[in-house]
């Protein structure tokens, strides 16, 4: 497996679509300077809201879309000009799946496997992804989550070095999601480069070694999940607890924090909480004979980072 190049290197990527009739025939710029790098043996996530430009970035990196500017390298080559040898080293799972409706899963997987020099064992892969349980059903009758698992198997069966996954957890129930996530982690540990898109912060948080936040066609923040969530200057935490309705919290002793009762009996203290603040709150509970029904303390999440950089929630 070659590791002399990054698996994917995108620099200043620009993509225009059009001409668009509703814009008087003008072009529309959907990517305006996306840069990223994905390494072998790592999971790289492109995280962003619907329409941010994640799929278009992947398609340019895969050579499925011609770029309008900037540069793209896939395993050291220009993917738009590259031929079959490069494509055989790359697995792609598109968002729509692109599966032929009339075939059954196992013949389809055998067919795809037959196009590669050293494919994975079809039966083992099918068993691993639970595809054997719906092996006799034609693609058109599969549920969304079943199609998703089959599309993942099709992307994998050629034994690729680089795997692109567009929204891999879309439509999966929690059990299938765990199976797919375990497989992705295992493939990463075996040395594959995995590049995935997601608008689910939890997916990025659970899977990604490195995250690029894409917003309005630009890379706006990048780093490991730990780096992105650990800006000391704004290391926010949130304390939530449930108790009697209508309590007045000691806001005068917590002046640097945001103290609220967002819904009756549910209290929230937000901001750069210190151990001393927690002691103040615990003392106030004791003084007033309050035993909360539930307490939670959470750290700054990727969601907060996304809010910071884009000014809005990802959902």
Ligand X SMILES: Nc1ncnc2c1ncn2[C@@H]1O[C@H](COP(=O)(O)OP(=O)(O)OP(=O)(O)O)[C@@H](O)[C@H]1O
Q: Where on the chain is the footprint of ligand X (CB under 6 A)?
A: 17, 28, 30, 48, 50-56, 197, 199
Minimum distance of ligand X from residue 167's CB (angstroms): 7
- Other Cβ atoms within 10 Å of 302 Cβ, number: 23
Minimum distance of ligand X from residue 20's CB (angstroms): 7
Beta bridge partners of 193: 42, 162
Exposed e or buried b for every residue in 69-105, given b needs 16+ CB within 10 A? ebebbbbebebeebeeebbbbbbbbbbebebeeeebb
Nearer to ligand X, 54 or 177 (CB): 54
Kindly state the tokens that stand for 268: 């929230």
Cα distance between residue 100 and residue 229, in whole Å: 42
Name the one residue in this structure whose structure tokens are 């927690």. Answer: 278
Strands 294-299 and 90-93: unpaired
Nearer to ligand X, 42 or 56 (CB): 56
Q: What does DSSP assign to residue 186?
A: H
Nearer to ligand X, 38 or 126 (CB): 38
Minimum distance of ligand X from residue 138's CB (angstroms): 27
Nearer to ligand X, 42 or 55 (CB): 55
Minimum distance of ligand X from residue 263's CB (angstroms): 30
Minimum distance of ligand X from residue 242's CB (angstroms): 35
Nearer to ligand X, 42 or 197 (CB): 197
Strands 258-263 and 266-271: antiparallel
């Amino acid at each position: 497996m070659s590791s002399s190049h990054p698996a994917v290197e995108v620099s200043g990527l620009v993509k225009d679509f059009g001409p668009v009739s509703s814009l008087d025939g003008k072009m529309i710029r959907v990517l305006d300077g996306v840069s990223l790098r994905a390494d072998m043996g790592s999971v790289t996530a492109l995280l962003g809201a619907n329409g941010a430009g994640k799929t278009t970035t992947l398609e340019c990196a895969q050579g499925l879309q011609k770029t309008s500017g900037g540069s793209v390298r896939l395993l050291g080559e220009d993917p738009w000009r590259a031929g079959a040898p490069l494509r055989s080293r790359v697995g792609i799972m598109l968002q729509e799946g692109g599966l032929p409706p009339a075939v059954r899963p196992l013949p389809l997987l055998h067919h795809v496997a037959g196009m590669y020099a050293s494919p994975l064992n079809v039966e083992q892969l099918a068993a691993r992804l639970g595809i054997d349980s719906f092996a006799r059903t034609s693609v058109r009758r599969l549920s969304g989550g079943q199609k998703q698992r089959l599309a993942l198997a099709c992307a994998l069966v050629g034994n690729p070095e680089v795997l692109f996954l567009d929204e891999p957890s879309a439509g999966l129930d929690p059990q299938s999601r765990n199976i797919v996530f375990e497989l992705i982690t295992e493939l990463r540990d075996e040395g594959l480069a995995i590049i995935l898109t997601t608008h689910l912060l939890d997916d990025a948080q659970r899977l990604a070694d490195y995250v690029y936040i894409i917003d309005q066609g630009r890379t706006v923040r990048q780093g490991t999940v730990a780096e992105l969530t650990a800006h000391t200057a704004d290391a926010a935490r949130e304390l939530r607890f449930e108790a009697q309705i209508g309590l007045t919290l000691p806001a005068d002793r917590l002046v640097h924090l945001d103290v609220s009762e967002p819904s009756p009996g549910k209290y929230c203290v937000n901001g750069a909480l210190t151990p001393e603040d927690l002691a103040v709150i615990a003392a106030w509970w004791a003084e007033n004979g309050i035993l909360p029904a539930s307490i939670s303390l959470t750290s700054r999440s990727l969601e907060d980072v996304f809010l910071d950089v884009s000014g809005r929630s990802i959902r």
